[in-house]
Amino acid sequence: MSGVRSAQSLLPIGNVYTLPRNKTIELIMPGGSSGAPHPFHLHGHNFDVVRSAGSAEYNYHNPVRRDVVSTGFAGDNVTIRFTTNNPGPWFLHCHIDWHLDNGLAIVFAEDVDTIEREKKKVPNEWKELCPTYQSAH
């Protein structure tokens, strides 16, 4: 993207959420939506599952670490936590591909300021990965 427009301006409202750097994010995903349970996957992070499907208990002491979690059924409020220590656009989506048609996906734009600064610092090694592409551009 050229930077003239933000990613949020290109997509329907509620599809991209900007997250600050080095913060703990707690996300609650209610179960019971159509087609439940949904296996949700977060790219770019492992997360702590502090409340699992089928449980009403929160475990902040020694939660399991995952990159996919089931949202469970009606009444479940699956809760995950992760730290925003990996700048970039990270996709959170249902792992059942055809559920994407139902809108079961969002993007977390994490630490946008760092992304803006770093995009100008592409290493030469990266540029040399594909000489054919470079010669065409």
Q: What is the tens place of the pLDDT at every residue in 90-133?
A: 999 999 988 888 889 999 999 988 877 776 677 777 777 777 66
Supply the mean pLDDT for the chain.
88
Would you say 21 and 82 are in contact if contact means Cβ atoms under 8 Å apart?
Answer: no
CA angle in degrees (0–180, nearest 5) for 52-58-62 = 90
Would you say 30 and 76 are in contact if contact means Cβ atoms under 8 Å apart?
Answer: yes
pLDDT of residue 78: 98
CA angle in degrees (0–180, nearest 5) for 30-35-37 = 50
Strand ranges across the sheet with 24-30: 24-30, 77-83, 47-51, 64-66
Cα(102)–Cα(84) distance, integer angstroms = 27
DSSP code of 13? T
DSSP code of 100? G
Q: Is 0.85 surpassed by the pTM of this model?
A: no
